[in-house]
Structure 1
Amino acid sequence: MTEDADAERHAMKMAKKKAARDKIMATKTDKKGLIIVHTGKGKGKSSAAFGMIFRCIAHDMQCAVVQFIKGGMSTGERDMILSKFPDICAFHTMGEGFTWETQDKTRDTEMAQAAWGKAKELIRDPSNTMVLLDEINIALRYDYIDINDVVTFLVEEKPEMTHVVLTGRNAKDELIEIADLVTEMELIKHPFRSGIKAQIGVEF
């Protein structure tokens, strides 16, 4: 096959694909606030969620973040939002660290309940286009928050056009069931297993 013939064949193939894609896209006319879950053992759950938060910021869309587990450690995302975009993105770090660090279930439960209360307040506010509930799945896994309360609230009280993103390993089946978009990050390799610690600009 000559180079010209190959190029023509490729162009025809892509034209058919575009026509098929355009036909599919023409049927997608609805808009709604999504329930989005990032879970799995792989890295990138919070990073992907913050990518969406920064998209909202770039489009001048009001948004908010509630961190359920991560404590006072400085992170690039939080530092940038607090210093550059506090008027458009409310940021609440409500946890005191991972559960194995605090070793205090009563205190962890109190903090998670307070974080969930703040989350409901922010989600109810129709001015927020997106609310990120970072690491809420960990709080749910340890039963610091009632999964039935979370599911009922998201189904019955979340404003129609508000997006809610929930991150963390071991997402509950009940949450996955009501979600519109679920992504499971798969772990294939991780530098921590080779003795490399978390690094600035990669993990935080």
Structure 2
Amino acid sequence: MTQPDPIPDQDLARHAQKMAKKKAARDRMMETKTGEKGLIIVHTGPGKGKSSSGFGMIMRCIAHDMPCAVVQFIKGAWDTGERRLLTTHFADLCQFHSMGEGFTWETQDKSRDIAAAQAGWEKAKDLIRDPDIRMVLLDEINIAFRYGYLDVEQVLAFLAAEKPPMTHVVLTGRGAPDSLIEAADLVTEMGQVKHPFRAGIKAQAGVEF
């Protein structure tokens, strides 16, 4: 295999000097970031990965021995990899509540969908109120807002009044309401560039669920 040409000493010196300046600036910035608080985190947008990112945060909590919980508002009827993993291996650290019954076009019963979403929110409130639970993932709750199953203003009022100071709450789903985005501490919008569904590829285990 051909070896790359050696980097000239002056280039190495310039790079080291540049990185030293960047590190010093970064260290000064980090010295000003000393606060901690429980965050309201929103993952939204048309792209894939909103729930996946939320479950990634749940796994981080588990790795740090931080009790956490998941409430699923729409996908509750699905047998997902996240659900299998958390209920089988980490039930002692993560409560998992599947409250949804599938998307509205599957149930075709709005009153039933509203009742399921309301029950999910009541469960979520109990979990959020518990100061020992450090993170609560409200998976696909933004869909419940969009269809009018839940009132976002009531949810925000509850979070402002009753969320313990160090509890993180993660809300996922496309179409997050503007008021939720305004109230959140961290908002990520997932964009979509390409998706295999458009090429006739169905949802697959390990990728979508």
Give the TM bin, normalised by the shorter chain: over 0.9
Residue deviations 1:34-77 (CA, integer Å, cap 9, x gap): 00000000000000100000000011110000000013221111
What corresponds to 1:130 in structure 2?
135
Q: TM-score, normalised by structure 2?
A: 0.96
- Gaps of at least 5 residues in structure 2 are 1-6
Q: Distance in 2 between matches of 1:117 and 1:103?
A: 23
What corresponds to 1:92 in structure 2?
97
Give 1:37's match in structure 2, choosing from 36, 42, 50: 42
Q: Distance in 1 between matches of 2:155 and 2:59?
A: 25
What corresponds to 1:8 in structure 2?
13
Where do residues 51-200 of structure 1 align in structure 2 (5 Å cutoff)? 51-200=56-205
Q: Distance in 1 between matches of 2:43 and 2:103?
A: 18
Residue identity matched to 2:191: E
Q: Distance in 1 between matches of 2:78 and 2:23?
A: 47
Residue identity matched to 1:21: R
Length, aligned pairs only: 203
Does 2:175 correspond to 1:203?
A: no
Q: Distance in 2 between matches of 1:40 and 1:68?
A: 17
Q: Distance in 2 between matches of 1:156 and 1:96?
A: 29
Q: CA deviation at 1:118?
A: 0.4
Runs of 4+ in 1 over 2 A off after TM superposition: none
Q: Distance in 1 between matches of 2:9 and 2:161?
A: 59
Q: CA deviation at 1:147?
A: 1.0
Contact map agreement 1:37 1:183 (CA 8 A) in 2: yes
CA RMSD of aligned residues (A): 0.7
Contact map agreement 1:64 1:132 (CA 8 A) in 2: yes
Contact map agreement 1:138 1:169 (CA 8 A) in 2: yes
Q: Distance in 2 between matches of 1:100 and 1:71?
A: 14
- Gaps of at least 5 residues in structure 1 are none
Q: SS in structure 1 opposite 2:149? A: coil
Q: TM-score, normalised by structure 1?
A: 0.98
Q: Distance in 1 between matches of 2:201 and 2:9?
A: 51
Q: Distance in 2 between matches of 1:71 and 1:45?
A: 16
| Rg comparison, structure with higher value | 2
Residue identity matched to 2:84: D
Greater Cα offset, 68-77 or 114-123: 68-77
Percent of pairs with identical residues? 71
Q: Distance in 2 between matches of 1:93 and 1:102?
A: 15
Contact map agreement 1:94 1:111 (CA 8 A) in 2: yes
Q: Distance in 2 between matches of 1:10 and 1:56?
A: 37
Greater Cα offset, 148-157 or 35-44: 148-157
